[in-house]
A and B are shown apart, each in its own frame.
Chain A
């Protein structure tokens, strides 16, 4: 086990002018589960591959456990990895697949056998040890890949979208199992995914990436509740955060779609000085409640679409020409066309600068 320290990584792929990673710095503490989250092409996999030694950076440095590994080949970095495509060796049986890394390390034979048995037990692969990967299902193959990675006792465990090739139900199961296993091992883990639910549920900390840079780094709850910019808020959460064009008036009120509600004090003070500023308001669907139409502090809106989800009902609502999503308990009975009042939870309101799209805080 060891910490990872990444400093100022630049990487451009040959034949491309865009930076795959642009001056990325990241510290992963010993035993931490760090998730790199972002849409495809954001540079998260590139970053992982550079830590693995499968790609080399143009600039910057990577050290694992205080040892510089920036340009070391992968086999000298003492890490293990789970691939998106499983990448199990089709010409080897499950047993020799799991043992592969240990055999390469010339570990004692009895020790290898013991570890293979332990990993197979942990991942419920014991009945399949003498089969070829082609005789296993996709989920089982991914288990083999995980088993192969965890027997290594490596400093760092890397995972590149390990669940994305599994079907939805299996993914849910395996996600919890993976979390349990990694907690047991306590190894430093760098995990790449584009699935924000996976990121939220597995990580100690999330690094949300966008265009080769880290947009926000923090605990999953912080990233969810206090997105650093509009991109993060729009990427994380299902449905994503609502964004509304609003205005802080000189009198210190928040005006959305021609209707007013209370604005937080720090914005009101600034607005009083400048004579009112436009602002982008972010709020999550579950932080909006239905209220009596015309009641104090509520905004008038019209329901356009009603989507019952079982555990809740998702409404698409028109608020003064802007469309937003509202999540209400499934007991609430509304139908499309209804006129309703909306009450925003003031504590859950987030504000973003219109131009930079960065979050505004006190």
Chain B
């Protein structure tokens, strides 16, 4: 891409006025094209594997063995998905996974949003150590957390239950929930909260009616993060359950001895709910109340 392609002036420069230099414009256009290209590349990088998995999951078992594989869904079939869904533990795992995801989301928001607000608004004793401690949970490998937890849950009878996994996932999600919501609460002006107090709100009402709604984009971001994390987390879930497996744990445990079609179907089922969830939360992330929040 060379510059100076458009630098030929349309009108002759009279009285020695300098010719208009159009090279910066051309450079800008070039940069925009490059940016677009980069966006497309990155999107493809994400989308192509998902597409291939979906393609394989929606094809018949025989067509998977064919060579070369076609990139167009020419022999659509639900046979693979059906067999996969009917295999032992899959439907139960799916239900468990949804339950774990939703409960983790609710629990981490119920604890994390007020905590984030406290970190953002109040200068309480031990705030800095608290923030450090939050990150510390994430510094430990999940295995290190899970094995003692498994023992603890065995003693308390929580082992092999949805609640056990929910508790672990909530612990994993809380640091980010708190830090994300805290940064959003920092962006809510104190004045607005005080205005709510003046116009008749108790502190709790001011929080619920004014501060929380203004923090919705951050809460949505934290929700997406939490749900996807919980949906994908497999190691802790595998350690903490035996029969009440979540979907990823279930798929993982039978991955080695399963046929190719089963793997694709499992992969597809793992991707879709997270995508659907993100799709619905997306509108809270951007464009609200007549302004676009970046």
Contacts and interface: CB of A to CB of B under 8 A. Distances in A.
A272 interface: no
A132 B198 contact: no
B290 A132 contact: yes
B90 to A, nearest CB: 42
Contacts of B199: 75, 80, 100-101, 104, 148, 152
Contacts of A83: 191, 194-195
B64 interface: no
Nearest to B210: A89
B198, B210, B214, B291: residue with the most chain A Cβ atoms closer than 10 Å: B198
A90 B213 CA distance: 9
B211 to A, nearest CB: 10
B271 to A, nearest CB: 33
Interface residues of A, number: 29
Contacts of A85: 189, 191
Contacts of B194: 52, 54, 74, 83, 87
A52, A91, A135: residue with the most chain B Cβ atoms closer than 10 Å: A91
A87 B201 contact: no
Contacts of B195: 81, 83, 87-89, 148
Contacts of B201: 75, 104
Nearest to A75: B200
Nearest to B199: A101
Contacts of A179: none
A75 to B, nearest CB: 5
Interface string B57-99: 0000000000000000000000000000000000000000000
B197 interface: yes
B147 interface: no
Which bracket fits the contact residues of B?
20 to 34
Interface string A80-100: 110111011111000000001
Interface string A121-133: 0000000000111
A311 interface: no
B288 interface: yes
Interface string B187-228: 001011011111111100100001001101000000000000
A90 B188 CA distance: 10
A90 B197 contact: no
A90 B289 contact: yes
B65 to A, nearest CB: 56
B245 to A, nearest CB: 41
Interface in B22-71: none
Contacts of B200: 75, 100-101, 104-105
Nearest to A131: B290
B191 A91 contact: no
B197 A91 contact: no
A80 B198 contact: yes
A283 interface: no
B185 to A, nearest CB: 14
A312 interface: no
A74, A101, A133: residue with the most chain B Cβ atoms closer than 10 Å: A74
B169 to A, nearest CB: 30
B197 A75 contact: yes
B290 A135 contact: yes
B291 A79 contact: no
A18 B202 CA distance: 31
Interface string A51-91: 01110000000000000000001110001110111011111
B293 to A, nearest CB: 10
B214 to A, nearest CB: 6
B202 A75 contact: yes
A54 B291 contact: no
Contacts of B291: 90, 132, 134-135
A80 B196 CA distance: 10
Nearest to B191: A87
B198 A90 contact: no
Contacts of A91: 210, 213-214, 216, 288-289
A242 to B, nearest CB: 39
Interface in A31-66: 52-54
Interface string A105-139: 10000000000000000000000000111110000
Contacts of A133: 289-290
A81 B290 contact: no
Given A91-B289, A135-B290, A73 B214 contact: no
Nearest to A148: B199
Contacts of B290: 131-135
B210 A81 contact: no
Given A87-B189, A87-B191, A89-B192, A81 B289 contact: no
Given A75-B201, A91-B213, A134 B191 contact: no
21 contacts: A54-B194, A73-B197, A73-B202, A75-B200, A83-B191, A83-B194, A83-B195, A84-B191, A85-B191, A87-B189, A87-B192, A87-B195, A89-B214, A91-B289, A101-B199, A101-B200, A131-B290, A133-B289, A134-B289, A134-B291, A158-B198
- What 4 A-B pairs have minimum CB-CB distances, sorted nearest first? A104-B200, A134-B291, A101-B199, A132-B290
Interface of A: 52-54, 73-75, 79-81, 83-85, 87-91, 100-101, 104-105, 131-135, 148, 152, 158
